[in-house]
Amino acid sequence: MKRISFRAGLVLGMSMALLPVVGAGVSAPAAFAQSAPSNAVIAPVQTLYKALDQIVQSHGSFAERSQIVAAAVDQSYNLEAVLKASIGLRYNNLNADEKQKLLAAFKDYTVSRYVSNFKPGADVKFTILPTVTDTPVGGNKLVVTDLGASDGSTPTEISYIMNNAGGSWKIVDVLLSDARISQAAAQRSDFSSTLTSGGVSGLISVLERKAQASAKD
């Protein structure tokens, strides 16, 4: 299987551009045990990158570009699993209404970060490596991608942890560069202090403010 590339036409801080939350994190375990490439595992990442490629070529408003990314996030991510991992054990103590409101704010925040980072006219090439590997967590897979530019600069490695729930592969974590910095771990560190000081309503307010700020970038 060949590498799958999406070509867009300024790389915007690619070291963190794909991470909806920027913060200190911990290193995730490296992948191991090569397995056969799988179109089904790679497909969600393709969907996400096609949407990002579309918005950097679009001259639409922030709201219009957000609709494109939101649809891709719905298809590509198990966003509830990402949120649960980002909250940690406290998530199990939330009631259904708190979980629903928090998930809605988390989605808006995630989408707004993508749209803010990948502005129209960005010079970025999304390349998905064809080899899918197993991770130390049973059943999960790792999809590795590169984000580069036309100036020939060294691409940034972004990897995705994929989980199959209900017969559909979805992204459940994002790992940055060779250090494999876990997005969920970074968010857990960030969210913990906010939950301690302000509870769920406080975290929702913070996510909403950050989403609104991204829309103004």
| Side chain identity, residue 16 | M
Specify whether the CB–CB gap between 41 and 161 falls below 8 A. no
Look up the domain containing 80 and give its range. 4-215
Q: How far is it, in rounded angstroms, from Cα 45 to Cα 54?
A: 14
Q: What is the mean pLDDT of residues 102-117?
A: 97
Phi (first) and psi of residue 135, to 5 degrees: -110, 170
Mean pLDDT throughout 144-158? 89
Structural domain count of the chain: 1
* Angle between helical axes of 39-56 and 62-76 (0-180°, round to 10): 180
What percentage of residues in the chain have a pLDDT greater than 70? 82
For residue range 176-204, what is the model confidence (pLDDT) as tens digits? 876 678 999 999 988 999 999 999 999 99
Tokens of 142: 């790792």
CATH code at 53?
3.10.450.710
CA distance readout (Å), 30 to 55, 103, 161: 32, 28, 11
Token pair recorded at residue 140: 């999960």
Spatial contact of 81 and 165, defined as CB atoms under 8 Å apart: yes
pLDDT band at 217 (very low <50, low <70, confident <90, very high): low
Give the model's pLDDT for residue 10. 34
- Per the CB < 8 A criterion, the answer to whether 103 and 83 are in contact is yes
Q: Which two tokens stand for residue 205?
A: 């307010």
Taking a C-beta distance cutoff of 8 angstroms, is the pair 141, 38 a contact? yes
In sequence order, the 6+-apart residues with CB closer than 8 A to the CB of 172 are 77, 78, 81, 82, 85, 140, 161, 162, 163, 184
Whole-number pLDDT of residue 169: 96
**pTM confidence score:** 0.83
